[in-house]
Amino acid sequence: MKFLDQAKIYVRSGDGGNGAISFRREKFIEFGGPDGGDGGKGGDVVVECVANLNTLIDYRYRQHFKAKGGVGGMGKNRAGASGEDVVITVPPGTQVYAEDQETLIAELMNAGDRFVLAKGGNGGFGNAHFKSPTNQAPRHANPGQPGEEMTVWLRLKLIADAGVIGLPNAGKSTFLAAVSAAKPKIADYPFTTLHPNLGVVRTPARDFVLADIPGLIEGAHDGAGLGTRFLGHVERCRVLLHLVDATQDDVAEAYRTVRSELKAYGAGLEKKKEIVALSKIDALDAETLAEKAQALKGAARKKPLLLSAVAQRGVEEALAALAREIVKADTKEAEAIEAETPREPWRP
C-alpha cells in the first residue's frame, strides 16, 4: 500500500426534495382538501475516522463525493425519502482544511469520530402544510433547499508514540526494521525513505508505535530536500529518538543541523523530549567511537546512547528509554485529565 498524507477532494451534499401540490379527490368524498407531502432531506457528506487506515491513498483516484438528493413529496400526504449520506473514511490524525489550506475545519483523532462536512438541504413543505381555516385550498408548496458544496484538503499527521529523526542515511529505517515487523526500504544512499513508516514495538514496559520520519537536511524548512512536509507527523509524537551517524566527519554539526530545522519548523517540536543516540557504532574502533561520543555529548548537552541496529548493540537500551518516556507522558496526560474533571461534592 502506498502512503499518501495529503489529498484534495470536492464534496457536495444532496438537495432537498420539493414539496408536492396535490388535492384529495375520491368518489363520494365531497371535501378532500390538500394532501401534498413534504420533500425529503438531502444526504449529508460525513467524514468518519476509522482505525484500520493509515494513508489517504484512496483519494488519489477518487476526488469527487456527491450525496443523493431528497425525493420530492407526493399526494396522499406522502413525504419523500431522504437522500443517502456519503461517508468519507479517514485514518486517525486526519485534519480537514478549507481550500485555502489554512482554515482548519475539523480534526479527527480517534476511531469513531464523525464530522458533517456538508449538510444536506432540507425538503420543501407540501401544500398540506399550508392549509388553514382562511386558506383551505393552498396551491403552493416550497422547493427543496440546495445542498452545500466545497473543496477541502485532507491532511494526515500520523499518530505515533515515538518518532525517529535524523539526517538522511542515519540508520533510521534500519533501526525500525530491527525492532518491529515493519519492512521499510533500506539502501546505502540518501533519501531512501520517501514517506513515513510505522512499526509496533513490544517492550516489557509498554508496547508503542514507532515512526520512521524521512531525513532532514539543512534548509529543509525552506523546501530543500524533502522539505518540512513530513515534519507534521512528528508533532504528535511523545518522544523523539535522534539518530546521528557515527561515520560522519562532524557528528556535532549533524546534530545541530536537525535541531535547527526542528526549531525553524515550530509547532513546539524543539521542546519535545529527545533521546540522542550515535548509530552505526559497529563501523568504528573504540578510540574513534569515544571521540565521536564526546563530541556529540558536547553538542547535545547529554550523554548519547551508543547503538548499532545491524549488530543489535544498544537497541534494548534505546527501546527501554523510549518506553520510559512514553509511560511518563501517559501518566502526565492522565493526571491532567483527572485534574480537569470536576468532582461532585460528597453527599450522605
Q: pLDDT value at position 67?
A: 93
Q: What is the residue-level pLDDT of the chain in tens, covering all 348 positions?
A: 456 778 899 999 999 999 999 998 888 877 788 999 999 999 999 999 988 877 788 888 889 999 999 999 998 889 999 999 999 999 888 889 999 888 989 988 888 899 999 999 999 999 998 998 888 889 999 999 999 999 999 988 777 788 888 888 777 888 888 888 666 666 555 555 566 777 778 888 778 888 887 766 665 555 555 556 667 767 778 888 888 888 888 888 888 888 887 787 767 777 888 888 888 888 888 888 888 888 888 888 888 888 888 888 888 888 888 888 888 887 877 777 677 766 666 666
pTM: 0.69
Grid coordinates representing 260? 535547527
pLDDT tens-digit series, residues 197-236: 777 788 887 788 888 877 666 655 555 555 566 677 677 7
The ranges assigned to domains in the chain are 1-156, 162-338
At 60-106, the pLDDT tens digits run: 888 999 999 999 999 888 999 999 999 999 988 888 999 988 898 99
The pLDDT assigned to 285 comes to: 84
pLDDT at 342: 67
pLDDT at 211: 80
What is the pLDDT at residue 172?
80
| The domain defined by 162-338 carries CATH number 3.40.50.300 | yes
In this predicted structure, what is the pLDDT of residue 240? 87
**Architecture of the CATH domain 1-156:** Distorted Sandwich (2.70)
